[in-house]
């Protein structure tokens, strides 16, 4: 069974630009969560989607948004990029999502903002 | 708000030298505690889920235990390939709250 895939794996952008990251969950999984990982803050929750509905959102500014499609694939968008947005963005999928369901992570997208 | 604290931040071990990692948590009603392993530049890899105090799970040289306030990850006779960052997380409302992790380095 294929794992969670994320594209692209690496991105370099400049301040003020916007970026869209993509996540394809494990086949059959309907919940997709997004996390930001930085050396200083660790892994921080961005948002979670289940059947195209956002069920929870972390403490991030409105520049961070996401969506989920009917085939459970998900995208996240960051507008007006700032230097501090440089991070590893991780997507995780699970059958039904939290609580209690195990989340499986993809390899991440490394975003560098110059 | 859910809080997770892991200690120590870093651990250097000789091959074969057993040790334990600690994860203490504050959560309103634990629904699940998760352990993940993360290698540099990669996504976290799932290891264990623990649901109730007293529960234990094992996988190769790793053993996770859970009490009402903390969890331990015991590494028995580690090998260099066990070098990684070990992350602990607790389940909240449709999200995981992670600790900062413990970076384990095992020298041959």
Any chain B CB within 8 A of the CB of A85?
no
Position B2 scores a pLDDT of 84
Which residues does chain B have within 8 Å of residue A50's beta carbon, measured at their own beta carbons? 94
Comparing alpha-carbon positions, the chain B residue that sits nearest to A6 is B43
H helical segments located in B6-90: none
Burial of B107 (0-12, 13-18, 19+ CB in 10 A): exposed
Position A99 scores a pLDDT of 63
Task: Extract the residue ranges of chain A whose pLDDT is less than 50.
Answer: none
pLDDT tens track for B9-29: 999 999 999 999 999 999 887
The shortest CB-CB distance from A45 to any of B34, B87, B95 is to B95
pLDDT tens track for B24-82: 999 887 888 999 999 998 999 999 999 999 999 999 999 999 998 999 999 999 999 99
Which residues from B are below 8 Å from A when comparing CB atoms? Answer: 31-32, 34, 36, 41-46, 49, 51, 87, 89, 91-101
Beta-carbon separation of A105 and B99 below 8 A: no
Position A102 scores a pLDDT of 86
């Amino acid at each position: 069974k294929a794992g969670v895939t994320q594209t692209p794996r690496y991105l370099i952008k400049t301040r003020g630009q916007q970026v869209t990251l993509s996540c394809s969950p494990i086949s059959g999984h309907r919940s997709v969560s997004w996390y930001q990982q930085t050396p200083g803050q660790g892994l921080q929750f961005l948002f979670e989607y289940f059947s195209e509905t956002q069920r929870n959102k972390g403490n991030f500014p409105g520049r961070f948004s996401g969506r989920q499609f009917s085939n459970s694939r998900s995208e996240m968008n960051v507008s007006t990029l700032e230097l501090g947005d440089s991070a590893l963005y991780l997507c995780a999928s699970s059958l039904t999502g939290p609580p209690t369901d195990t989340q499986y992570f993809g390899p991440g997208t490394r975003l560098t903002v110059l | 708000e859910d809080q997770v604290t892991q200690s120590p931040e870093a651990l250097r071990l000789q091959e074969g030298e057993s040790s334990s990692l600690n994860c203490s948590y504050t959560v309103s009603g634990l629904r699940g505690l998760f352990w993940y392993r993360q290698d540099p530049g990669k996504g976290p890899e799932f290891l264990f889920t623990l649901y109730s105090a007293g529960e234990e799970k094992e996988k190769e040289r790793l053993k996770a235990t859970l009490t009402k306030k903390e969890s331990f990850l015991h590494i028995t006779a580690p090998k260099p390939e066990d070098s990684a960052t070990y992350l602990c997380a607790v389940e909240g409302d449709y999200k995981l709250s992670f600790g900062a992790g413990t970076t384990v380095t095992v020298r041959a």
